[in-house]
Structure 1
Amino acid sequence: MIRSIQGTVLALASSLMLAAAPAAHAQPQYPSKPIRLVVPFSAGSATDILARIIGSKMGEGGTYQVIVDNRPGAGGTLGATGVAKAAPDGYTLILVSVGHAINATLYPKLSYDTVKDFAPISLVATVPNVLVVNAGSKYKSVRDVVNAAKATPGALNFDSAGSGSSTHLSGEMFKMQAGIDIVHIPYKGTGEALTDVMAGRGDMMFAPSVSAMPFVKQGKLRALAVTTARRASALPDIPTVAESGFPGYAFDSWFGVLAPAGTPKEVVDALNAEIGKALAAPDVRERLAAQGAEPKRSSPQEFAAYIQAEIGKLAPVVRQSGVKAGQ
């Protein structure tokens, strides 16, 4: 009797294993379809340029196909909202900037939680902003800009990629430290803002070096200073804002990839490894360096801690500057 029961149990177990095998085998290996990488700013922005460099490199191996999807608007929150609500399957990602941390304070009623609704994948790069003016502008230095702004308060303006972006907040920090009044003009992306500066419709912009440097090299823009504490390796002759008479001024932009919260750990780890491979490639490092960007890979855990730290660091700056969403 006992042997009969044991035989029945073994037979049932074998049947269940055989039934489960096809189902397990049927689960597709990740990735089994193209990955959508959302860029929450317009084409031509630093985020867009970095996304295309990294995405194209990831696609060279044949396993990953990355499609860049520009979703500009509301300082990057429009694109972030869509990704926060997307299926956590690894097929919808977003390349965020330092603006993601700024928005946590800037927007009091976001439709998503900046930390809890996302799964950090990896940092990608850090990029200095560059204070640029039209190539024909009368301003040849930071001091020229400050003197003109003090002579006619409110007469000058600076363009940005949108309220709350790094191009906005770095300008607000400059206003505060220089003690000047220049008007902020928000756009829906870096490309549009730079176009107006080149056309003379905007006086200046604290533009990401990735976006500005090609136009500086073409003679369409003049670089006056970089926002980082040290000079950019790609622009060694351009002084920092601190060197230009405002010691202590420093603003760094960073970029990283997030997925929706709940994305499986194995998918997060696979993406982290693939991004790391892309950032380690000599041609990618060369392309990034040529535009002033420094590759900056991290683990998912390190990126999560970094975002938390940046939110804490930037919150008082946002509050002290009085920046308001849509301003």
Structure 2
Amino acid sequence: MSKKSVAALAGALILFAGSAFAQAAWPNKPIKLVAPYPPGGQTDVVSRYFAEKLSGVLGQQVIVDNKPGANGMVGMEIVKNVPADGYTFVYVNSSMMCINPYVYKKMPYDGFKDFMPVTQHGLAPLAMVVPPSLGLKTVKDFVAWANERKGKVNFASFGNGSSSHIWGEMLNQAEKLDMTHVPYKGAGPAVQDVVAGHIPMTIQDLAASGGAINGGKLTPLAVTSAQRWPRLPNVPTFEEAGYKINLTGWNAIMAPAGTPKEIVERLSAEIRKLVQTPEGKEKLLDMGLIATGTTPAEMGEIMRTGCAAWGDAVKRAGVEPE
């Protein structure tokens, strides 16, 4: 074997050993999971569930760090700029990855270039809810009520450009309701204002709205999933209510671009094992998600195909970039 071949083989062995060592040694300090929304919404509650469970299996504390603002863009920009060493990850949803690029002219990150998929762990249908005091039972009831007050009705979302916003605008356009969109910094505050009667309607994640629905403080009119939500079997889908709209959001974990592949694969495998157990599936249902669990490659394909569909929805909803 020539000296050049020996040197090349030695270099390859060093790289392999270094990679194996990094994988074996990780994690050797606490891990940060950035949740780009305020406490109380789906992103926050699922992040805290993952942090608790992953701390046990990884042997290091996983810390949730809430960084809300600009429909997740504040948190995403923070994670984009941290070292890609496997100690910072971000909880994302389809709003941050697929909708923001269509509703904001200037983006502080590129979801495909600045981040690496770890896993899509759940589908995230929304529920259209109103205060019981309105006495409304169906979407058509709400449409008739809003038409009587055309130009005077507001609807809440968990952020400008969020799936909550897009769904509200699609209904607005379909029925020509002339409603005004009121964006909030997260699902929790939006739901609180609907419960209090300050806003008459919102289409929100089931983690934030589920407790109020179960407690009789909100009336659900429809869900955005293709099938009825298991926890609300008597509530129709939007398609059953007469609207040919079928878009379900999703939740996922991502890493800064350049994070060691073996670390990404390890975390992906641990989350998949967690969400695919009977206990994990039930817990995610309690938090408004239908458990999935994908490999990083599968998550990348979901983004490539799904983001185009959300872009079309933004156009149909008549949302202009700002």
Partner amino acid, structure 2, of 1:35: I
Q: Where do 4+ consecutive residues of structure 1 move more than 3 Å? A: 24-28
Range with greater deviation from structure 2 (219-228 or 189-198): 219-228
SS in 2 for 1:255: strand
Instruction: Confirm whether residue 191 of structure 1 aligns to residue 188 of structure 2.
Output: yes
Alignment match, 1:167: 164
Range with greater deviation from structure 2 (211-220 or 56-65): 56-65
Q: For the residues of structure 1 that align with 2:143 and 2:22, how far apart are their CA atoms?
A: 65
Instruction: Confirm whether residue 254 of structure 1 aligns to residue 250 of structure 2.
Output: yes
Q: For the residues of structure 2 that align with 1:232 and 1:169, how far apart are their CA atoms?
A: 20
Q: For the residues of structure 2 that align with 1:293 and 1:26, how far apart are their CA atoms?
A: 33
Instruction: Confirm whether residue 40 of structure 1 aligns to residue 42 of structure 2.
Output: no
Instruction: Confirm whether residue 92 of structure 1 aligns to residue 121 of structure 2.
Output: no
**From 176, 181, 195, the counterpart of 2:178:** 181
**What CA deviation, in whole Å up to 9, does each residue of 1:144-199 have, x standing for no partner?**
11012222212111111110111111111222222322111001011100010000
Q: For the residues of structure 2 that align with 1:242 and 1:276, how far apart are their CA atoms?
A: 30
SS in 1 for 2:150: coil
**From 267, 271, 274, the counterpart of 2:267:** 271
State the Cα distance separating 1:289 from its structure 2 match.
Answer: 2.2
Alignment match, 2:4: none
Instruction: Confirm whether residue 30 of structure 1 aligns to residue 36 of structure 2.
Output: no
**What CA deviation, in whole Å up to 9, does each residue of 1:283-303 have, x standing for no partner?**
221112234421111111111
8 Å CA contact retained: 1:131, 1:204: yes
Write the mapping of 1:91-110 to structure 2, written as runs, cut at 5 A: 91-100=87-96, 101-110=98-107
Range with greater deviation from structure 2 (118-127 or 108-117): 108-117
Percent of paired sites with the same residue: 38
State the Cα distance separating 1:324 from its structure 2 match.
Answer: 4.2
Alignment match, 2:56: 60
**Cα distance change of structure 1 residues 308 and 27 upon mapping to structure 2, 3 Å threshold:** closer
Partner amino acid, structure 2, of 1:140: K
Instruction: Confirm whether residue 119 of structure 1 aligns to residue 137 of structure 2.
Output: no
Write the mapping of 1:122-271 to structure 2, written as runs, cut at 5 A: 122-246=119-243, 248-271=244-267
Q: For the residues of structure 2 that align with 1:28 and 1:141, how far apart are their CA atoms?
A: 55
Instruction: Confirm whether residue 76 of structure 1 aligns to residue 76 of structure 2.
Output: no
State the Cα distance separating 1:240 from its structure 2 match.
Answer: 1.3
8 Å CA contact retained: 1:163, 1:325: no
Partner amino acid, structure 1, of 2:313: V
Q: For the residues of structure 2 that align with 1:69 and 1:277, how far apart are their CA atoms?
A: 23
**Cα distance change of structure 1 residues 93 and 142 upon mapping to structure 2, 3 Å threshold:** same
Q: For the residues of structure 2 that align with 1:314 and 1:207, how far apart are their CA atoms?
A: 17
8 Å CA contact retained: 1:228, 1:252: yes
**Cα distance change of structure 1 residues 280 and 27 upon mapping to structure 2, 3 Å threshold:** closer
Instruction: Confirm whether residue 315 of structure 1 aligns to residue 302 of structure 2.
Output: no
Q: For the residues of structure 2 that align with 1:97 and 1:145, how far apart are their CA atoms?
A: 28
Alignment match, 1:11: none
TM-score by structure 1 length? 0.88
8 Å CA contact retained: 1:233, 1:292: no
- Alignment: residue pair count: 305
Q: For the residues of structure 2 that align with 1:26 and 1:88, how far apart are their CA atoms?
A: 13
**Cα distance change of structure 1 residues 26 and 267 upon mapping to structure 2, 3 Å threshold:** closer
State the Cα distance separating 1:325 from its structure 2 match.
Answer: 5.8
SS in 1 for 2:182: strand
8 Å CA contact retained: 1:55, 1:68: yes
Give ranges in structure 2 of 5+ residues lacking alignment. Answer: 1-12
TM-score by structure 2 length? 0.89
8 Å CA contact retained: 2:125, 2:288: yes
Q: For the residues of structure 1 that align with 2:170 and 2:294, how far apart are their CA atoms?
A: 28
8 Å CA contact retained: 1:127, 1:210: no
State the Cα distance separating 1:235 from its structure 2 match.
Answer: 0.8
